[in-house]
């Protein structure tokens, strides 16, 4: 990392998947390094240059990730008043994308609640014990433990991936179901996986319900099927009153 890098190269290599999350992380890193460099600077020209660099970098990131809401400052990015205005708008944009990241449910993942995670962990621990006490061959035991490690790793993430979790569950069922051991013939592995999937599904349903609740109501479009009454010009009688005029 260069002394004057606002965003070091390694930051780009460890970004989250979602565009809004990427934007929030990159802006936070850039803001932190900008503050550090401004505190260390005793040159007005350098401070102006580094602020202009910050505006240019953040604007480029927003364009690349499709994040809207930042003002277009044109080519004059050295003006301090414009820099302050940019920071004010940026604070609002960052707040918006962070909120969207928390409230907008990703279609193929779910953020599990604390109680749900504890229940799933308990199921994993119980299944580990059953595997350890079973007469399944050691090679298969090791494979099952590896898959349970993968499941625990997925459980530790902020949002659990459906695709990865279903793949892990299928592998566990395949390995456990092969052969004639008590583990294969008994309901433990199947019932455990079924319960885990049920816990995940319940949290996803609750998350989706919350997302729908927070959506703004749909706009009401005008009803064009009803004939519209044409307004009469002011100062003139309607045609219906012609017969009542006494001349």
Residue-level pLDDT at 237: 46
pLDDT tens track for 150-192: 999 999 988 888 888 999 999 988 887 765 455 554 567 788 8
Whole-number percent of the chain with pLDDT over 90: 30
Q: Which has the higher per-residue pLDDT, 42 or 202?
A: 202
Write the CA distances from 46 to 41, 128, 131, 192, integer angstroms.
7, 60, 64, 62
pLDDT tens track for 99-136: 776 555 467 888 899 999 999 999 999 999 988 888 88
Residue-level pLDDT at 81: 86
Residue-level pLDDT at 232: 57
Residue 58, pLDDT above cutoff 90: yes
Q: How is the chain split into domains, by residue range? A: 9-103, 109-214
Residue-level pLDDT at 225: 60
Total-model pTM: 0.50
Residue-level pLDDT at 82: 86
Q: What is the 3-class SS of the chain, one letter each residue? A: CCCCCCCCHHHHCCCCCCHHHHHHHHHHHHHHHHHHHHHHCCCHHHHHHHHHHHHHHHHHHHHHHCCCCCCCCCCCCCCHHHHHHHHHHHHHHHHHHHHHHHHCCCCCEECCCHHHHHHHHHHHHHHHHHHHHCCCCHHHHHHHHHHHHHHHHHHCCCCEEHHHHHHHHHHHHHHHHCCCCHHHHCCHHHHHHHHHHHHHHHHHHHHHHHHHHHCCCCCCCCCCCCCCCCCCCCCCCCHHHHHHCCC
Name the token pair of 85. Answer: 């205005």
pLDDT tens track for 205-229: 988 887 777 665 665 556 556 555 5
Residue 242, pLDDT above cutoff 60: no
Average pLDDT, the chain: 81
Q: Which has the higher per-residue pLDDT, 31 or 2?
A: 31
């Amino acid at each position: 990392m260069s002394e004057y890098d606002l965003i070091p190269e390694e930051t780009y290599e460890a970004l989250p998947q979602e565009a809004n999350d990427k934007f929030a992380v990159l802006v936070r890193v850039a803001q932190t390094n900008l503050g550090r460099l401004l505190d260390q600077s005793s040159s007005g020209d350098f401070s102006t240059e580094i602020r202009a660099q910050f505006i240019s970098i953040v604007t480029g990131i927003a364009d690349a990730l499709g994040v809207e809401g930042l003002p277009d400052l044109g080519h004059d990015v050295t003006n301090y008043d414009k820099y302050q205005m940019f920071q004010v708008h940026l604070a609002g944009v960052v707040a918006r994308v962070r909120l969207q990241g928390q409230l907008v449910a990703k279609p193929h993942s779910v953020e599990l609640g604390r109680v749900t995670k504890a229940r799933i962990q308990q199921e994993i621990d119980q299944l580990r014990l059953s595997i350890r006490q079973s007469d399944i061959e050691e090679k298969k035991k090791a494979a099952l433990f590896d898959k349970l490690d993968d499941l625990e790793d997925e459980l530790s993430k902020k949002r659990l991936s459906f695709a990865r979790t279903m793949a892990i569950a299928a592998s566990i069922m395949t390995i456990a179901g092969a052969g004639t051991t008590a583990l294969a013939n008994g309901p433990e592995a199947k019932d455990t996986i079924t319960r885990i999937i049920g816990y995940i599904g319940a949290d996803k349903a609750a998350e989706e319900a919350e997302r729908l609740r927070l959506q703004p109501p749909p706009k009401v479009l005008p009803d064009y099927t009803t004939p519209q009454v044409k307004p009469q010009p002011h100062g003139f009688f309607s045609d219906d009153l012609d017969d009542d005029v006494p001349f």
